[in-house]
Amino acid sequence: MRIFDRYIVREIFVPTLIGLLALTFVFLSREIGHLLEVIIRQAANASELAEVSMAILPKVLTFTLPMAVLVGILTGFGRMSSDNEAIALRAAGISMRRILWPVLFLAGGAWLVNLGLTVWIAPKMATRLRTVEKEIALKQVALEVQPRVFNESLDNFDLYVRERRDLEWRGIMLSDKTDPDNPRVTFAQSGVLVQDEANRAFQLTLSNGNRHMVSPASPHKYDFSTFERTTIPIPMPGAARTPGRPAVEETSTRALWERIQARNATYEERVEFHSRIALPFACLALALVGLPLGVSTTRGSKSMGLVLSLTLMLVYYLLLIGGTRMAGAANLSPVLSAWLPNIGFVALGLFLLGRSDSAYENRVMAWLRRAMDWGANRIASVTLTRQRMNRWAYSLQHRPKFFRLLDVYVLRGFWFFFMLVLMVFVSLFVIITLFELLPDIIQNNAGVAVVASYFLYLLPQILYWVIPLTVLLAILISLGALTKTNEILAVKAGAISLYRLSIPLLVMGFLLSAGVYFMQEFILPYSNQRQDEYHDVIKGRAPQTYRDPQRKWMVGSRDDRLYHYTYFDPSRNVFGGVEIFEFERNAFTLRQWVFAARGMWDGNTWVFEDGWIRRLAPDQSVGYEPFRSLPLTDVETPEYFKKEVRTAAQLSYSELKKYVGDLRQSGFDVTSLTLDLYRKISFPLVSSIMAIIGIPFSFKTGKKGAFYGIGFCVVIGIIYWTTFELFERLGGINRLSPFIAAWFPNLIFGLSGMWMMLRVKT
């Protein structure tokens, strides 16, 4: 390679690598919680965690690698255009076709890597991921069962435990619905759970208990037995896979090709095969489009590289995913649907390359620049004029007020990069979410208005997630730019402390934290409920309230009673299929069992109809008494059963606090909700902590450039997000108190940032 080629490759490779890291982190951010769940709940060691991570990574890289190549080309050539190096190349007579060779060299390497991922590595890793997760699950010593909480994670079983002492449980209720025609309810004073690896199951050994079975079709037939010791096998969740072909993404490319040749491949398998071959070519197709758009004589292209990258990526993947789904509905060729985006982008790239050596500047970039100038002028028209701003700044220089000219200058740079980075992060989240929902949108014929409304109400939640990282990156870039241009040195020469320079950024960090808290309290509860409603429509689900229809067990206000029901109408106060289990005060021994087909509240008491009562005497005799109508005065009022199951995101702090208290009284697991309660205070402060961390780092590393700041931001984001999720999982399973789990990450990073601030040479 010549010096010119090496220079081009280096200018593209660095932003490509940083873009790949950033995009992969954004895509993997939703998987971090899953990985930590594997570590904490299933006691995975470091090698197993690495294996799970490596199994997830190839599938993500197949999408992020073409995107990173486009980001690298547009950003690298945008920097060259901004520094007038593109003009120098044109003045030296170097054509666009000559510049294309080193670009294709880098894009071709990415194409080979991506081809290996999609054709060979990703299918194997998808299969291995499922296998490793099963192996890790088999290593569990016991289920994560919380005392006085109904555990419904086991297939066909409901489990309730009064007390837990390590691996020994006391006061156990086990509802076995394996045979719906003959459901069984078992009560025992104590029990121990162990694993049976040979049969991929758990063995629950119960002591001093009794078993009851009543057929719904024949309630007069009753089976009752006592035992001193019995063992019940419980199948492990997800231990077995339904027989048949493996999932399409787990099928090897060779097997797909053989089925296509044998003409017995399904449409999904044919689409999967051609998509695996076509997706890597996105590296070359996007390179052809990105080069002429990146090489522009318009100044300011450096800041528009990420924006244009997001636009092109969105268009490409919309064509790829939407084309395959619509082709499946219209019975079109899988080859055409998979290769159509590549064909379109190659044609567009060749057209732009043909025009790039003409005397005209790039019209797309010129149009974007004019649009940005128009927006800047509109903003300037509603703000103070330059003359008034100068008079205001001059007057403030001679007054002991906060906002001086230097503060305005620092905040102006911060807000410019803050809005640019915020737009990039929000666009990435929208693209990722759209990719996930696009199959459901097409399958369920969700209208444009529904999809647009969903993203409109999802936007506050996205802002809630990305604002902290946006603060960090905006500070790193803005102060880094001041450091690189020696403006920080000029501030020091003017006898102004860097602490004084940092005050407006710290204040802005605290104001943004207050804004995040305000949005969490007054906007997110409503917007999250609405976006859940539109999400159900996109998914093809029937409209529903946020009451859990599967909540069939509740603990009474007294500790000697359990309720089970199949239906409850909160508006009419009507039960369907309600059962009441009453126990002895000091022993978990069933004393009375009441069943009623219906239950109605008459304003003062419950009236149950068409049921029976079974009373168990100490001598193990059973009394059976059917009834047509039975009033019961000691049953809880309807308000006791009207505790809505709502997520923490749909509640404000005060509502969640009251909600946690109500659910705790009813015997539900409130550990995670208590953690969410504390996080409603701790998470908004992350923006302030990111400002404290970003300021000292930008002073020390600013001369290394903006891309170094982006890479550092990604690393800090990965560490912080992983720490936050890790402590959340530890708090969710009672390994840490919810208060410590919610506040300790802030404490660690906050003290670290303050320590670095104190070591800055001001």
> Which tens digit of pLDDT belongs to each residue from 348-362?
888 888 777 665 555
pLDDT of 567 above 80? no
Q: 408 and 335 share a domain?
A: no
Structural domain count, the chain: 4
DSSP 248: G
Q: 122 and 230 share a domain?
A: no
Q: 520 and 393 share a domain?
A: yes
Q: 167 and 312 share a domain?
A: no
Lowest mean pLDDT across 74-88, 319-333, 724-738: 319-333
Beta-carbon contacts of residue 643 (< 8 Å; ≥ 6 apart): 659, 662, 663, 666
pLDDT tens, position by position, 420-479 = 888 878 877 887 777 777 667 766 777 778 888 899 999 998 899 889 888 988 888 888
pLDDT tens, position by position, 108-158 = 999 999 999 999 998 888 777 777 766 655 554 444 566 666 766 566 777
Distance separating alpha carbons of residues 533 and 626, to the nearest angstrom: 43
Q: 718 and 575 share a domain?
A: no
Phi then psi dihedrals of residue 546, to 5 deg:
-95, 35
What is 43-88 written as a DSSP string?
T--HHHHHHHHHHHHHHHHHHHHHHHHHHHHHHHHHHHHHTTHHHH
Distance separating alpha carbons of residues 447 and 451, to the nearest angstrom: 6
pLDDT of 406 above 60? yes
Query: Which residue range forms the structural domain that includes residue 570?
Result: 553-642
Q: 392 and 521 share a domain?
A: yes
Has residue 244 been placed in a domain? no
Listed residues 331, 349, 367: the one ending a domain: 349
Alpha-carbon distance values, 294 to 84, 290, 302, 303, 558 (Å): 12, 6, 9, 11, 71
Q: 403 and 321 share a domain?
A: no
Q: Is 127 exposed, middle or buried (0-12, 13-18, 19+ CB in 10 A)?
A: middle
Q: How confident is the model at residue 634 (pLDDT cuts 50, 70, 90)?
A: confident
Token digits of residue 553: 């067990």
Phi then psi dihedrals of residue 641, to 5 deg:
-95, 5
Token digits of residue 595: 């069943």
Asked if residue 499 lies in contact with residue 718, where contact means CB atoms within 8 angstroms, the answer is no
Has residue 15 been placed in a domain? yes
Q: 322 and 194 share a domain?
A: no
Token digits of residue 142: 């016991």
Mean pLDDT estimate for the chain: 76
Distance separating alpha carbons of residues 235 and 165, to the nearest angstrom: 23
Q: 683 and 558 share a domain?
A: no
Has residue 376 been placed in a domain? no
Longest CA span, the chain:
105
Shortest CA distance to 335 belongs to which of 275, 285, 269? 275
Residue-level pLDDT at 191: 86
Distance separating alpha carbons of residues 84 and 294, to the nearest angstrom: 12
Q: 511 and 430 share a domain?
A: yes
Q: How confident is the model at residue 644 (pLDDT cuts 50, 70, 90)?
A: low
Residue-level pLDDT at 663: 63
Has residue 357 been placed in a domain? no
Has residue 650 been placed in a domain? no
pLDDT of 546 above 50? no
Token digits of residue 318: 């919309």
Percent of all residues in the chain with a pLDDT value above 90, rounded to a whole number:
8
Has residue 360 been placed in a domain? no
Lowest mean pLDDT across 130-144, 270-284, 390-404, 691-705: 390-404
Q: 265 and 393 share a domain?
A: no
Q: 220 and 266 share a domain?
A: no
Has residue 688 been placed in a domain? yes
Alpha-carbon distance values, 8 to 83, 104, 105, 344 (Å): 14, 11, 10, 26
Percent of all residues in the chain with a pLDDT value above 70, rounded to a whole number:
72
Give the Cβ contact number of residue 141 at 10 Å. Answer: 10
Listed residues 184, 202, 235: the one ending a domain: 235
pLDDT of 211 above 80? yes
Place of tokens 């126990």: 583
